[in-house]
Amino acid sequence: MNDGPILAIETSCDETAAAVVDGRAICSNVVASQAELHTPYGGVVPEVAARHHLGTVNAVVDEALARAGRTLDDISHIAVTQRPGLIGALLIGLSTAKALAYAAGKPLIMVDHLHGHICASWLEPVELDAPFVSLVASGGHTRLDLVSDYRAPRLLGQTRDDAAGEAVDKGARLLGLGYPGGPALERLAAQGDRTAFTFPVGLGGKGERDFSYAGVKTALLYTVRDLGDDTQVHLADLAASYQEAVMRPLADRLIDAAIEHRVPAVSLGGGVAANGRLRELVQTQADARGLRLAVPDRALCTDNAAMIGAAAQFTPAIAWPDYLGYDAIATAPPGGIAA
């Protein structure tokens, strides 16, 4: 464990974020979202994201320190997201963190972004202790991990194609709902019948822990094509049925994995954890099985730096000048978390 207040920086996608975390306490958690910049393009434009991080990151770090009532001198370690993410975006955070670590004479901690999502549940007020099974579902990731020890989550399953949030966004776009589509799809689905259409649930086999969303997305495309002008009449039913096909395998596989590995709790993270239907499906099954369900606040489920500060406490620190040799990496390591 790395003790003392940690200054954490996260720039892997379209949020410029910095936080000060001390043990399980969040002293500050500042997020400057670029989402509106990317909306006209229907997705994140990597070059735009990197340039915007560059212009924003210093102010966000200053704000995080100010809100925590601390200066760099009070900080014990600097932590930063090293992987996975948009390479240009990651590089801005990593270069900033190296410069701050050098200037302040502090060790640097390289954090895996997915490790951060998993460790969000460790922070107050949720304070979930291992062992548990974690589901992280966002626009970029969909994965199940067995967390017997926060230092080394073990990958149980992941998506073989689209992430769950990506499937949500693509489905929402097919239904004419704009980007990002999650909240709009959920609102429309609330007025529809989730049994009206049957969409295939990818990789449905017993004991299966991986996910696949390519099939359900194509099925929606064909259904909309076949309905033609009638699509508008069935829009709410389509949204509800599609949402069900995306959320049900997430809930089922999370609970199945918890039972198989005999853990007392499950956790949700990532932007898709905001979905009310997913929470309902997981809560109902968790209650039936006597499992605790841990869901951090929405601000800790979506991309933020407090979760990076949490994961940093379970990751080895690197001293000057060794950290200069570490680079940003776009991909996740095969088979799990780089912790």
Binding footprint of ligand KG4, residue count (CB under 6 A):
19
User: By CB under 6 A, is residue 183 in contact with ligand KG4?
Assistant: yes
Instruction: Name residues contacting ligand KG4, limited to 141-170 (CB under 6 A).
Output: 165, 168-169
CB of 316 to ligand KG4, least distance (A): 25
Q: At what angle do helices 235-260 and 214-227 cross, to 10 degrees?
A: 160
User: By CB under 6 A, is residue 181 in contact with ligand KG4?
Assistant: yes
User: By CB under 6 A, is residue 48 in contact with ligand KG4?
Assistant: no
- Residue 169: which of ligand KG4, Zn ion, none does it interact with, CB under 5 to 8 A by kind? ligand KG4
User: By CB under 5 A, is residue 81 in contact with Zn ion?
Assistant: no
Angstrom distance (rounded) from CA 148 to CA 144: 13
CB of 71 to ligand KG4, least distance (A): 31
Give the nearer residue to Zn ion in terms of CB position, either 181 or 192: 181
Give the nearer residue to ligand KG4 in terms of CB position, either 10 or 237: 10
Spell out the SS3 assignment of the chain.
Answer: CCCCCEEEEECCCCEEEEEEEECCEEEEEEEEECHHHHHHHCCCCHHHHHHHHHHHHHHHHHHHHHHHCCCHHHCCEEEEEEECCCHHHHHHHHHHHHHHHHHHCCCEEEEEHHHHHHHHHHCCCCCCCCCEEEEEECCCCEEEEEECCCCCCEEEEEECCCCHHHHHHHHHHHCCCCCCCHHHHHHHHCCCCCCCCCCCCCCCCCCCCCECCHHHHHHHHHHHHHHHHHHHHHHHHHHHHHHHHHHHHHHHHHHHHHHHCCCCEEEEECHHHHCHHHHHHHHHHHHHHCCEEECCCHHHHCCCCHHHHHHHCCCCCECCCHHHHCCCCCCCCCCECCC
Name the pairing type of β-strands 108-112 and 132-137.
unpaired
Give the nearer residue to ligand KG4 in terms of CB position, either 5 or 116: 116
Angstrom distance (rounded) from CA 184 to CA 168: 10
Tell me the two tokens of residue 321: 């000048």
Tell me the two tokens of residue 151: 């230092």
Among the residue ranges 96-104, 209-217, 303-311, 312-320, the one whose residues contact Zn ion (CB under 5 A):
303-311
Give the nearer residue to Zn ion in terms of CB position, either 14 or 303: 303
Count of CB atoms situated within 10 Å of the CB of 23: 16
User: By CB under 6 A, is residue 85 in contact with ligand KG4?
Assistant: no
User: Of 82, 138, 241, 243, which lies in the binding site for Zn ion, with binding defined by CB under 5 A?
Assistant: 138
- Residue 168: which of Zn ion, ligand KG4, none does it interact with, CB under 5 to 8 A by kind? ligand KG4
User: Of 180, 202, 249, 309, which lies in the binding site for ligand KG4, with binding defined by CB under 6 A?
Assistant: 180
Angstrom distance (rounded) from CA 290 to CA 255: 11
x/- map, 260-299, Zn ion, by CB under 5 A: ----------------------------------------
Instruction: Name residues contacting ligand KG4, limited to 261-280 (CB under 6 A).
Output: 270-272, 274-275
User: By CB under 6 A, is residue 140 in contact with ligand KG4?
Assistant: yes
Among the residue ranges 47-55, 69-77, 153-161, 179-187, the one whose residues contact ligand KG4 (CB under 6 A):
179-187
CB of 127 to ligand KG4, least distance (A): 21
Give the nearer residue to ligand KG4 in terms of CB position, either 128 or 189: 189
- Residue 139: which of ligand KG4, Zn ion, none does it interact with, CB under 5 to 8 A by kind? ligand KG4
Place of tokens 């922070």: 123
Give the nearer residue to ligand KG4 in terms of CB position, either 168 or 245: 168
Give me the residues that bind Zn ion (CB under 5 A), please.
138, 303
Give me the residues that bind ligand KG4 (CB under 6 A), please.
13, 138-140, 165, 168-169, 180-183, 186, 270-272, 274-275, 302-303
